[in-house]
Amino acid sequence: MKEMDGRLRSPFGVYTAEDADLALGRVFGAGVRPLHLEEAVWEAVLEGWTAQQVARYFKPKTIQANLQAARSLVAFTGRRPWDWHAEDVDRYFAALLGEPRALRPVTVRGYQARLRGLMGYLVDERYPWVAICRQEFGRVPVQLFDDRYGLAHLTGYEGDPRRRPLTVDELEAFFACLDARITRRRGLGRKGELSVWRDQALFKVMFAWGLRRAETASLDIVDFRAHAALPEFGQFAALHVRYGKAMPGGPPRRRTVLTVFDWAVDVVEQYLTEVRPALRPQNAPAVFVTERATRMAPGWITDRFAEVRDEAGLPPELTPHCLRHSYVTHLAELGYADRFIQDQVGHSHAATTAIYLSVSDDFKDRMVRSAIDRQLSAVGGSR
């Protein structure tokens, strides 16, 4: 069907079967028909999908990862999306989950999310691809990555099981090691002593406000603020996190974390008034600076954590992120509401916070004992 005045036949802004020639003209130019049409259409699809993602403010690295996922499945099947079938998807993800790659389920689900985005774009009839595929190839793409075909979410946590909260003993050992480092460095030069004081403050801040590495590295002095509800903590009653973990393709998410540990206020106040000025940060706004007055890097935090962890004799699989897990666990054991904890750590969904939660055996014992006591009281019994 020939196009009429360059306008779609449908009044709803979608390409119908009658608009196929118009669709081809809009993609390749009026009267132009590429010699290798399927390959040309596929490259045009990727170009159009890229433009859609840019318009939705996806980050360049997210877009590249999405494109790579699409090209990977094409390479695996030897066919393009309008020729994909459910069994193609099954074989592909079985290959990812099996040897030699053996990807974790959470990683495979990420691949599925990327491909779901591609197919969602491809089957949307507001774009020209369905009309073109129907006329030129005699078949149309189908969304193969909805809940029927997605990897079943069978467990509450599919990440690395070693990323867990530190036990109370591990947490005490870690911070005791930091204290011991300060004692050992005394008398060995002021510069070395200052660096270990800074390290102690850094890791205590990570734990006390439930921060990620990048969030800690990005902190500026002005991010500590007063809060009307917590006047006893002065200017350290709240911490404004400006560079929180972004949603895929989105900008950094901001949140305000209220102070819950009074000892943490003393740690920060001492560091900012005594330790940091002695490091001569000049005009650097960062809370944590190196001996060269530059902002601390996330990778440096990982390296220094590993150094202290090994010195304290803790399991080698522990990472700085375990301090964030520990923060969530401690708030739960102190009786803070689930919603409050979720807001403090900046999770969009309660299920994500639940992944971090692993209360201690002692806490579980006390909760069970308390519940039994309440039941006995209700029926007139006694311990």
Q: Are 234 and 224 in contact (CB under 8 A)?
A: no
Work out the angle between the directed axes of helices 60-77 and 105-123 (0-180°, nearest 10). 90
Percent of the chain at pLDDT above 70?
A: 83
**Rounded Cα distance, 344 and 339, in Å:** 9
pLDDT tens-digit series, residues 345-377: 888 766 666 666 665 555 545 545 655 566 566
Q: What is the DSSP string of 228-241?
A: TT-GGGGGGSEEEE
Strongest mean pLDDT among 90-104, 160-174, 210-224: 210-224
Please tell me the distance from the alpha carbon of residue 142 to that of residue 58, in angstroms, as a whole number. 24
pLDDT tens digit string along 272-320? 999 999 888 888 899 999 888 889 899 999 999 999 999 999 999 899 9
Strands 238-244 and 253-258, by their bridges, are antiparallel
Residue 57: pLDDT over 90: no
Output the six-digit token pair for 158: 């599919």
The reported pTM is 0.57
101, exposed or middle or buried, with CB in 10 Å at 0-12, 13-18, 19+? Answer: exposed
Residue 220 has pLDDT above 90, yes or no: yes
Please choose, from the candidates 10, 309, 280, 253, the residue with its C-alpha nearest in 3D space to the C-alpha of residue 130: 10
Burial 11-30 (b: 16+ CB within 10 A, else e): eeebbbebbbbbbbbbbbee
Other CB atoms within 10 Å distance of the CB of residue 116:
17
Q: Would you place residue 339 in the very low, low, confident or very high pLDDT band (cuts 50, 70, 90)? A: confident
Domains, the chain, ranges and CATH? 17-136 (no CATH), 168-356 (1.10.443.10)
Q: What element of type H or E holds 277?
A: helix 276-278
- How many CA atoms, within 13 angstroms, populate the side-chain half-sphere of residue 121? 21
Place of tokens 């036990």: 167
Which tokens go with 216?
């800690």
